[in-house]
Amino acid sequence: MLVVSDEVEAAVAQRRPVVALESTIIAHGLPRPRNLRVAKELEAVVRDEGAVPATIAVLDGRPHVGLDEEQLERVAHDDGIRKLGHRDLPLAVAAGASGATTVSATAQLAARAGVRVFATGGLGGVHREWTVTQDESADLGLLARTRITVVCAGVKSILDVGATLERLETLGVAVAGYRTNRFPGFYLADSGHEVDWTLRSPGEVAEVMRAQDALGGPEAALIVANPVPSGEQLDPVLHARVLDDALRACEERGITGQAITPFLLDELVRRTDGASLEANLAAARGNVRLAGRVAAAWAER
């Protein structure tokens, strides 16, 4: 049922480095037409690190691991492309639908295809109004049950970051800062929260992955939280101001469910004159590069 590209299939079979990439950031997280350029650029960064990119999406009811140029273009430019969490996968397959995969759906399909390393911008998590809405991204629950290493710039700053870290602890998902003891804040290098563990090289990350496999226990992910370079972060004062306004706009317009994350990301781009987009992309690029290096270290096992 899974369509794995020849290139990805060969790399997995030969234990060469592969990095999974999600497609929701392309279809619903970034403005067009820049999104297609970014999708290609992120794949190029993976290749630059000597790894094979495996961008994941569902097209006409078939989950694809590794997209060609035309397929990538469909994800970026088709209006009908849905947003698929992991619970949506069987429904999309049976309906013959097309959709971009979130972190949860991407992680599931990557693991199924034997890809162990995955890069994204920021994870989903616990939303700020959780006590009222119970809105918590399915990313967290899926990562608690999937053996994959996710390189990310923390969780999106539109969320309740402290609550998200608490949930990750409860769920038993390992979290380590990359060369930092601060949990990154997506657009910002520091979310204001600490992490208990710091990893300093791709080789150290790969050692943790080996230990996960050797120790048994529940199949859970490893989150490698890699801060955006501080020179490329969004101005923290601007961030605090526009985020407040964007959250208010979201509430006023009654945006709910799956639409909240794309709406807030888009509002931030508009309200910062594109500065949040640059910070988002800087974070994503850095994560993809590090993921390429982790995949290479992992391939040496």
- For Mn ion, the binding residues (CB under 5 A) are 135
Whether residue 33 has a cis bond before it, omega within 30° of 0 = yes
Asked if residue 121 binds ligand PSU (CB under 6 A), the reply is yes
Among 122, 184, 185, 292, binds ligand PSU (CB under 6 A): 122
Q: Is 103 annotated as a binding residue?
A: yes
Task: Using alpha carbons, select from 105, 137, 133, 141 the residue that is nearest to residue 124.
Answer: 137
Interface region with ligand PSU, contact rule CB under 6 A, candidates 18-26, 32-40, 51-59, 70-78: 18-26
Q: List residues bridging with 3 in a β-sheet.
A: 64
Residue 102 binds ligand PSU, judged by CB under 6 A: yes
Select the binding partner of residue 29 from ligand PSU, Mn ion, none (C-beta < 5 to 8 A, by kind): ligand PSU
Contacting residues for 20 by C-beta, under 8 A, at least 6 apart: 54, 55, 56, 65, 106, 107, 109, 110, 113, 115, 117, 118, 119, 148
156 annotated active-site: yes
In sequence order, what are the beta bridge partners of 21?
55, 119
> In the stretch 203-242, what mask flags binding to ligand PSU with x, by CB under 6 A?
----------------------------------------
- 22 assigned to active site: yes
The one-letter code for the residue type at 268 is: L
Is 40 annotated as ligand-binding?
A: no
Site membership for ligand PSU, residue 146 (CB under 6 A) = no
Closest CA to 59 of 20, 1, 110, 11: 1
Residue number with CB closer to ligand PSU (115 or 296):
115
For position 25 contacting ligand PSU by CB under 6 A, the verdict is yes
Cα 240 versus chain centre, distance: 22
Q: Binding to ligand PSU by residue 157, rule CB under 6 A?
A: no
Which ranges in 134-274 belong to alpha helices (H)? 138-143, 161-171, 202-215, 236-252, 260-271
Q: Which of ligand PSU, Mn ion, none has residue 98 at its interface (CB below 5 to 8 Å by kind)?
A: none
Among the residue ranges 53-61, 132-140, 231-239, 293-301, the one whose residues contact ligand PSU (CB under 6 A) = 132-140
Q: Interaction with ligand PSU in 263-292: which residues (CB under 6 A)?
A: 265, 280
Query: Using the rule CB under 6 A, which residue among 8, 20, 29, 143 binds ligand PSU?
Result: 29
Give the whole-angstrom CA distance, residue 151 versus residue 51: 15
Active-site positions? 22, 156
